[in-house]
């Protein structure tokens, strides 16, 4: 691997890996510096913690009709599976009827229609302005919206939501989305466990200071999350312009966490099911029950509550998720629990949350993020994908688009120097 490459890339998540592949294909030398001891960032599959492969972060291939990883999986003969439509809604005492599920779905459809209409208004507003008051469904919708976007409707911009492209549907992959990304990244030169501490872009080119020395390059692509950038984990010299700093703060990552619970046998009775709840509290998880028929349940917690419980720690997360399952399936299931593994995205200093959402009034700031500084300092990542933010395929597209800009600029400079 070239120590001082033409392009240095900070972060080996979907955006960084896609940028690296694109630049290598364009004949440029790259050096990817990753803080963690693994690649993938928020797309990470592992099987050691609970004995079954599961995705700690991204698991669904959203917008499968236009998602690069659909094409990639097909080229690799890796089959994709449809997402299960098997939904179970727990009322607190019993399973909800089909009528109750349809009634709730109708409320959600109504709100999404109203978001689309509000999105046409020149004045940006919170998504919560699109919600009719409803004694039963409003809190449920809040939690569902937080699962989709990372933040509750009152903290999310309606313009941001409106610009997210209509989705062609979800697919999933047995080996895990993180593993699929790892297959794509095979052969990309990455140095692990090497956090970038500072970037000097004061002179020609850039100099990246790491715990293991300085890397010099003609340009850098920084793909770390907005929350990491907003807390000054990387020192820039000179400081980066104020509008970028404001964009990091106004398009933060919301909360998203998972808890995997493995059982020694099938004690839940459902297979490949989504379990969600009638609830009037924001403190709630939803579950994937026995995905792909495995004896595992995966709790998903989003929004403010995800951040709150992540701060309480992994024991609190495990105990909360299990007690919610016990409410439905009875206390005996505890005897069959073999292992439990919560994630820690919100408190991870190299990630800082789930996925980005613009605060009301700040959706336009996503465009600022994609502009290079001085033609040598570039940013990329899911937060840059105006119509696919918060996703792996959005991060991929941002990485590819940024890499093409960098390659174009470096070729221009080369021609100019001849």
Cα 128 to chain centroid, rounded: 22
Query: Whose Cβ is closer to ligand FAD: residue 41's or residue 291's?
Result: 41
- Residue 252, classed as helix, strand or coil, is coil
DSSP secondary structure letter of residue 95 = B
Smallest gap from Cβ 351 to ligand FAD, in A, equals 5
Query: Whose Cβ is closer to ligand FAD: residue 140's or residue 221's?
Result: 221
371 Cβ contact list (under 8 Å, min separation 6) = none
Which spans of this chain sit near ligand FAD (rule: CB under 6 A)?
10-16, 33-36, 41-43, 57-60, 62, 195-196, 223-225, 228, 233-234, 256, 258, 345, 350-351, 354-355, 381-382, 390-392, 395
Of 331, 319, 250, which Cα lies nearest the Cα of 283?
319
Query: Whose Cβ is closer to ligand FAD: residue 12's or residue 262's?
Result: 12
Of 298, 328, 389, 413, which Cα lies nearest the Cα of 90?
328
Of 184, 245, 227, 208, which Cα lies nearest the Cα of 399?
184
Neighbours of 265 (CB within 10 A): 8
Smallest gap from Cβ 332 to ligand FAD, in A, equals 29
Smallest gap from Cβ 94 to ligand FAD, in A, equals 30
List alpha helices for 262-417, DSSP H. Answer: 303-312, 314-329, 365-369, 392-417
Whether the ω angle into residue 238 lies within 30 degrees of 0, i.e. cis, is: yes
In angstroms, what CA-CA distances link 2 with 6, 190, 191, 200?
9, 11, 11, 19
Query: Whose Cβ is closer to ligand FAD: residue 363's or residue 395's?
Result: 395
Smallest gap from Cβ 181 to ligand FAD, in A, equals 8
Smallest gap from Cβ 156 to ligand FAD, in A, equals 16
Cα–Cα distance measured from residue 366 to residue 362, given in angstroms and rounded to the nearest whole number:
8
Query: Whose Cβ is closer to ligand FAD: residue 11's or residue 119's?
Result: 11
Query: Whose Cβ is closer to ligand FAD: residue 10's or residue 140's?
Result: 10
Cβ atoms of 44 and 56 within 8 Å: the answer is yes
Query: Whose Cβ is closer to ligand FAD: residue 303's or residue 381's?
Result: 381
Smallest gap from Cβ 330 to ligand FAD, in A, equals 28
Smallest gap from Cβ 358 to ligand FAD, in A, equals 14
173 Cβ contact list (under 8 Å, min separation 6) = 61, 73, 78, 79, 80, 81, 179, 180
Query: Whose Cβ is closer to ligand FAD: residue 266's or residue 387's?
Result: 387
Cα–Cα distance measured from residue 240 to residue 237, given in angstroms and rounded to the nearest whole number:
8
């Amino acid at each position: 691997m070239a120590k001082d490459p033409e392009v240095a890339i900070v972060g080996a998540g979907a955006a960084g890996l896609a940028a690296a592949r694109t630049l290598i294909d364009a004949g440029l030398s790259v050096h990817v510096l990753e803080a963690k001891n693994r690649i993938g960032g928020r797309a990470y599959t592992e099987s050691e913690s609970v004995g079954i492969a599961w995705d700690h972060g991204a698991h669904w291939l959203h917008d499968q009709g236009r998602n690069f990883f659909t094409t990639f999986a097909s080229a690799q003969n890796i089959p994709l599976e449809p997402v299960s439509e098997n939904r179970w809604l727990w009322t607190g005492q019993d399973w909800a009827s089909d009528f109750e599920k349809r009634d709730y779905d109708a409320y959600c459809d109504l709100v999404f229609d109203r978001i689309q209409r509000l999105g046409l208004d020149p004045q940006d507003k919170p998504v919560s302005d699109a919600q009719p008051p409803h004694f039963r469904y409003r809190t449920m919708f809040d939690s569902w919206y937080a699962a989709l976007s990372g933040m509750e409707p009152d903290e999310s911009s309606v313009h941001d939501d409106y610009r997210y492209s209509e989705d062609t549907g979800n697919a999933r992959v047995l080996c895990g989305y993180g593993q699929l990304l790892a297959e794509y990244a095979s052969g990309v030169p990455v140095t692990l466990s090497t956090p970038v501490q500072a970037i000097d872009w004061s002179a020609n080119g850039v100099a990246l200071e790491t715990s293991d020395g300085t890397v010099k390059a003609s340009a850098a692509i920084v793909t770390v999350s907005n929350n990491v950038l907003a807390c000054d984990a990387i020192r820039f010299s000179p400081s980066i312009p104020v509008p970028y700093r404001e964009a990091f703060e106004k398009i933060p990552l919301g909360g998203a966490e998972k808890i995997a619970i493995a059982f020694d046998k099938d004690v839940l009775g459902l297979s490949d099911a989504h379990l969600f709840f009638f609830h009037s509290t924001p403190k709630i998880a939803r579950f994937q029950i026995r995905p792909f028929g495995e004896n595992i349940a995966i709790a998903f917690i989003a929004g403010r509550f995800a951040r709150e419980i992540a701060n309480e720690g992994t024991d609190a997360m495990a105990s909360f998720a299990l007690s919610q399952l016990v409410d439905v399936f009875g206390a005996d299931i505890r005897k069959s629990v073999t292992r439990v593994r919560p994630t820690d995205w919100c408190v991870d200093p190299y990630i800082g949350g789930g996925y980005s959402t613009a605060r009301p009034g700040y959706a336009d700031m996503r465009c600022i993020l994609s502009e290079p500084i001085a033609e040598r300092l570039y940013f990329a990542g899911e937060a840059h994908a105006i119509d696919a933010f918060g996703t792996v395929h959005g991060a991929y597209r941002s990485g590819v688009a940024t890499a093409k800009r960098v390659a174009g600029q470096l070729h221009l400079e080369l021609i100019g120097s001849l």
